[in-house]
Amino acid sequence: MLIDEVKITVKGGDGGDGVVSYKNAMMEKGPTGGDGGRGGNVYLEAVSDLSALRQFRHQKDFTAQDGDAGSNRNKKGADGEDLILKVPVGTVARNLDLSQELELTKVGEKVIIARGASGGYGNSHFRSSTNISPRQSSPGHAARRFDFVFELKLIADVGLVGLPNAGKSSLLNELTRAKSKVANYQFTTLEPNLGAYYDLILADIPGLIEGASGGRGLGIKFLRHISRCTALFHLVPADSEDVVRDYKIIREELSTYDPKLVEKPEYIFLSKFDSVDPKAASEKLKQLRKIDSKTIAISVNDWESIEQVKKILNSIAKKKTTTS
């Protein structure tokens, strides 16, 4: 199961304590207590593994290593090791305590989310003309703890959208080497699936239903994944009783969730056109072409229609290359 939202607590390492120490040489009492080491930082690093949030399913508390205490001869304590938490590329990290958020949009991107605290001072730091043998040192500082929510938003070039059982998974499998589960019932796909068509990433977004933007069905759990897609392939199945109504349901849910979603380039497909008789398929295609005259009837069993889809993908890929 794809874990796409988790809440955890993170904390940088505490600073090490400063120490009190003196020279051992006869007649010399100069202070030699070293400072404490700095605590480790907590980083997020983006990786390509979409299942990386799974590690946070049970473990919820993460702390970087504390700094070591100082030692004699003015030796500073070792700094604590940094803690690196790997998250899927496309993760939004929200700091609930500071009301701040950051996004990781590139594989290998690395950001600090909790800093380690500084170490305390050894007694050599307190030496002065009036106190040549100070007996005091200071403890290491405590690092601050933060609550975070990590939310994965898939980064894809093309998002396949439509009501349940519209043929999205079948199309993804046909165009890529994805192995999405396919069956003739609603909600076969229960989590987003990705596939690569050359340099394009295609995302099969699980079927939405009327009221999804308000939490019905699988709800906004998957609507947020669409926000990162560059273009949308909207599949309306030919076996639908009312293709125009089905089309408008999805458009309304997208608009309600985020008006910017309906501004994305959209390509409409009458999918599974071979599942009904040719006359009925032709009539439904005419209805959709009143919305968009470029609507195409497709079937994974029809080579020519799949080639038309590939031409559209090639055009999107070309635009991506020229703008990158």
Does residue 181 carry a pLDDT above 60? Answer: no
Average pLDDT over residues 125-131: 85
Cα 264 to chain centroid distance, Å, stands at 20
Does residue 103 carry a pLDDT above 70? Answer: yes
**Which among 223, 167, 233, 154 is positioned nearest to 194, based on CA atoms?**
154
311: left (phi over 0), alpha (psi -120 to 50) or beta: alpha
pLDDT in tens, 282-319: 999 999 999 999 999 999 999 999 999 999 999 998 88
Binding residues, by number, are: 162-169, 187-191, 204-207, 271-274, 299-301
**Which among 208, 201, 170 is positioned nearest to 186, based on CA atoms?**
208
Binding residues for GTP, by number, are: 162-169, 187-191, 204-207, 271-274, 299-301
Does residue 212 carry a pLDDT above 50? Answer: no
Name the amino acid, one letter, at 195.
G
| Residue 72 to residues 23, 25, 68, Cα–Cα distance (Å) | 8, 13, 13
C-alpha dihedral, 48 to 51 to 54 to 60, nearest 10°: 30
Q: Residue 57, exposed/middle/buried by CB under 10 A (0-12, 13-18, 19+)?
A: exposed
pLDDT in tens, 5-21: 899 999 999 999 999 99
Average pLDDT over residues 195-216: 67
CB atoms within 10 A of CB 37: 26
Identify whether the C-beta of residue 165 lies closer than 8 Å to the C-beta of residue 237. Answer: yes
pLDDT in tens, 147-161: 999 988 776 789 899
Angle (deg, nearest 10), helices 278-289 and 243-257: 40
Binding residues for Mg(2+), by number, are: 169, 189
**Domains of the chain in sequence order:** 5-152 (2.70.210.12), 158-323 (3.40.50.300)
**Which among 239, 226, 228 is positioned nearest to 273, based on CA atoms?**
239
